[in-house]
């Protein structure tokens, strides 16, 4: 049986405590558990895999050097994902290849949605493709980023607002208006609404 999200986080908090208590092997456990997650997330902000991998290394080197500053972390996953985004944007600004953090919503995202194969019919695939094209053509990059953080990463509004450097109120408004707009464009039939919510709640969402 797999652990729930809260149980996993509690486990990682225990590992983090061991790390700040001086156990470097504990940090290695976090590195190996989160490397693929950080790589996948980092590739949303840069198509340069080598840059993203270097940024992951930099995060953990800094943690070792500073011993995590001895601070408690409530959500290890969120802390690491925020760190990788900031590290990537920092490195890109150094090489003058990207915009300031405050404008990170203008980063180009390629968005794909999918639902479980067992519930896909030909009609549903066509509806999904229409939905995907609509998202690509009608959403801004900031809207795509917000949807990814909410529906793929499962972050709360406060966490999304922190990652995107906007207020919680702006975050709520952004997501509300985005989903409302998509739903209106998608159609109001019962079938269309069903597929829409299946797509929105799918975990198989990626930006690259």
In order, the DSSP letters of 11-50 are HHHHHHHHHHTT-HHHHHHHHHHHHHHHHHHHTTT-S-HH
Residues 63 and 137 occupy one common structural domain:
no
| CATH number of the domain enclosing 83 | 1.10.1740
Q: Given pLDDT bands bounded at 50, 70 and 90, which one contains residue 136?
A: confident
Residues 146 and 186 occupy one common structural domain:
yes
Please give the full DSSP string across 127-181, using - where no structure is assigned: HHHHHHHHHHHH--HHHHHHHIIIIIS---HHHHHHHHTS-HHHHHHHHHHHHHH
Residues 89 and 131 occupy one common structural domain:
no
| CATH number of the domain enclosing 110 | 1.10.10.10
Residue 206 pairs in a beta bridge with 112
Residues 94 and 113 occupy one common structural domain:
no
What is residue 130's predicted lDDT score, i.e. its pLDDT?
74
Number of domains present in the structure of the chain: 2
Domain boundary among 98, 118, 147: 98
Of 63-67, 140-144, 197-201, where does mean pLDDT reach its minimum?
197-201
Q: Is the pLDDT of residue 1 over 60?
A: no
Residue 207 pairs in a beta bridge with 111
Domain boundary among 75, 98, 121: 98
Residues 172 and 189 occupy one common structural domain:
yes
Q: Which DSSP helix (H) or strand (E) runs through 206?
A: strand 205-207
Angle at 203 between CA 56 and CA 199, to 5 degrees: 135
Give the closest residue to 77 by CA, choosing from 176, 196, 163.
163
Residues 151 and 183 occupy one common structural domain:
yes
Residues 42 and 76 occupy one common structural domain:
yes
Residues 165 and 145 occupy one common structural domain:
yes
What is residue 199's predicted lDDT score, i.e. its pLDDT?
61
Residues 123 and 177 occupy one common structural domain:
yes
Residues 83 and 143 occupy one common structural domain:
no
Residues 115 and 58 occupy one common structural domain:
no
- pLDDT tens for residues 40-78? 999 888 888 999 999 999 999 998 888 766 678 888 999
What is residue 185's predicted lDDT score, i.e. its pLDDT?
77
> Of residues 8 and 140, which shows the higher confidence score?
140
Written as six digits, the tokens of 127 are 């509806």
Q: Given pLDDT bands bounded at 50, 70 and 90, which one contains residue 202?
A: low
> Of residues 48 and 189, which shows the higher confidence score?
48
Q: Which DSSP helix (H) or strand (E) runs through 101?
A: none
- pLDDT tens for residues 117-130? 444 455 566 766 77
Domain boundary among 47, 76, 98: 98
State which residues form the domain around 42. 5-98
Instruction: Return mean pLDDT, the chain.
Output: 77
Residues 88 and 180 occupy one common structural domain:
no
Average pLDDT over residues 184-202: 62
What is residue 85's predicted lDDT score, i.e. its pLDDT?
93
Residue 112 pairs in a beta bridge with 206
């Amino acid at each position: 049986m797999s652990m729930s999200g809260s149980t996993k986080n509690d486990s990682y908090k225990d590992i983090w405590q061991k790390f700040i208590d001086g156990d470097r092997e504990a940090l290695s456990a976090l590195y190996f558990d989160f490397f693929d997650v950080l790589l996948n997330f980092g590739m949303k902000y840069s198509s340069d895999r080598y840059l993203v991998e270097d940024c992951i290394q930099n995060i953990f080197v800094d943690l070792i050097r500073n011993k995590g500053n001895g601070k408690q972390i409530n959500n290890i996953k969120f802390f690491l994902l925020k760190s990788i985004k900031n590290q990537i944007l920092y490195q890109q600004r150094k090489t003058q290849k990207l915009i300031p953090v405050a404008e990170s919503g203008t980063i180009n995202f390629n968005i794909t949605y999918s639902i479980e194969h067992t519930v896909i019919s030909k009609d549903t695939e066509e509806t999904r493709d229409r939905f995907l094209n609509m998202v690509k053509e009608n959403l801004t990059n900031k809207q795509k980023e917000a949807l990814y953080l909410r529906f793929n990463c499962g972050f709360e509004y406060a966490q999304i607002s922190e990652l995107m450097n906007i207020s919680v109120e702006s975050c709520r408004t952004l997501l509300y208006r985005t989903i409302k707009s998509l739903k209106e464009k998608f159609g109001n039939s019962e079938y269309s609404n069903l597929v829409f919510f299946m797509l929105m709640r799918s975990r198989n969402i990626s930006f690259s």
